[in-house]
Amino acid sequence: MVPKGKIDEIIEGYDLKDLTIATLCSHSSLQIFHGARKMGFKTLGLTISHSTKYYDAFPLAKPDKIIKYADFDEMEERVGELLDENVILIPHGSFVEYMGSRRFGDYPVPSYGNRAVLDWESDRDRQRQWITSAGVPMPRLITDAREISEPVMVKYNGAKGGNGYFIARDYPDFKMAIDPSQPYTMQEYCLGTRYYMHFFYDPHKKDGYLCEQGGSLEMLSIDRRDESNIDEMYKLGSIEESKRHGLYPSFVVTGNAPVVIRESLLPKAFDMAEKVVNKSYELFGGMWGPFCLETVVNDKLQFKVFEISTRIVAGTNPFISGSPYADLIYPGLSTGGRLAMGIRDAAAGGYLKDVVS
Ligand code: AMP
């Protein structure tokens, strides 16, 4: 991981009145650029092979400049150009996934948030250790497939965005679908409604919903993912019947829809997020900025967190002009805008080094 001292040195050489916000052209980049422009920053899109013509259709979210690289090697070689532009990177799920979390961790350009979180998020065992030791419930793990006695979710270790996951109801079901050459984990299938809750922790804001370290925890929005083809499978009747015709359920994210949760669930939601933030300071020096708790709520109104994303998630995209929650804090502000606000305030307040790594 790039030493913090090196990032601090780079920040010391930056012109803080002329910062540029940059990210990879994908995922939540429209929102990140739109929010950055709103806060008065210059914007820079980084792209490998993605088409960037779609930005022409959205002028308020089009980056001021785009750099096209042949591959991530070239992005590493040309790092000096980003430093010349006083760039602060915004990591998002696709940026870290496409580049690889290790490589992203080593990339010597200041990045918003704590890079140490990468090691805890990218490893499923460590992620579980973090969340459960914080006192937040997760789906139960099943270690021996012969003991499957209720539906389980099988997740291959490298799989992202639900690609390659499958549900097994018993051992024969498992045997039929498993690719034994790939490492996997199994967890109880949690039946209930899914809520992907988008929080923002600001250690320098001293009012609002305060956590142990004295910073402020905000809820900015909630989405539910559209997942293909599981979400539409019911139209074909029973899943078992469909399997006989070679149609298997899959969990590939294709879009996001805005939702709110019943108000009486909010205290539980905040309690879980607060515990996870508090624990992050104990384990690895803290998680600040945007993060998402991916949850299922059952009919007894109990939450289980099946995953945490420790940066801006694409589920915040429906909220470019605010949300029912953000509007009660910062009317009309997106998570992208909130990120830019955090950087603007840190630069103006002389503590930019504290929010980047
Ligand atoms: P993930 O990669 O962990 O975000 O999971 C992808 C999708 O699989 C989620 O959005 C859920 O729809 C589903 N999922 C993951 N874990 C579980 C679980 N334990 N029970 C039910 N559904 C799950």
Q: Establish whether residue 190 lines the binding site of ligand 1, counting it when its CB lies within 6 angstroms of any ligand atom.
A: yes
Ligand 1, closest atom to CA 139?
Answer: 19
| Residues contacting residue 205 through CB under 8 Å, at least 6 positions apart | 215, 216
Q: What is the pLDDT of residue 237?
A: 86
Burial of 161 (0-12, 13-18, 19+ CB in 10 A): middle
Q: What's the predicted TM-score (pTM) here?
A: 0.96
Q: What is the pLDDT of residue 161?
A: 63
pLDDT tens, residue by residue, 111-140: 999 999 999 998 889 999 999 999 999 999
Q: Establish whether residue 124 lines the binding site of ligand 1, counting it when its CB lies within 6 angstroms of any ligand atom.
A: no
What is d(CA 211, CA 217) in angstroms, rounded to the nearest whole number? 7
Candidates 261, 276, 266; CA nearest to 211 is 276
Q: Which residues of the chain have pLDDT under 70?
A: 158-161
Burial of 180 (0-12, 13-18, 19+ CB in 10 A): exposed
Ligand 1, closest atom to CA 309?
Answer: 4
Q: What is the pLDDT of residue 151?
A: 95
Q: What is the best residue among 157, 295, 306 to mutate for testing ligand 1's pocket, by most ligand atoms within 8 Å of CB?
A: 306
Q: What is the pLDDT of residue 122?
A: 87
Contact 130/283 with Cβ under 8 angstroms? yes
Contact 298/268 with Cβ under 8 angstroms? no
What stretch of H or E contains 223? strand 216-229
What is d(CA 102, CA 122) in angstroms, rounded to the nearest whole number? 10
Q: Establish whether residue 307 lines the binding site of ligand 1, counting it when its CB lies within 6 angstroms of any ligand atom.
A: yes
Ligand 1, closest atom to CA 188?
Answer: 19
Q: What is the best residue among 94, 165, 252 to mutate for testing ligand 1's pocket, by most ligand atoms within 8 Å of CB?
A: 165
| Residues contacting residue 294 through CB under 8 Å, at least 6 positions apart | 194, 196, 305, 306, 307, 308, 309
What is d(CA 224, CA 318) in angstroms, rounded to the nearest whole number? 10
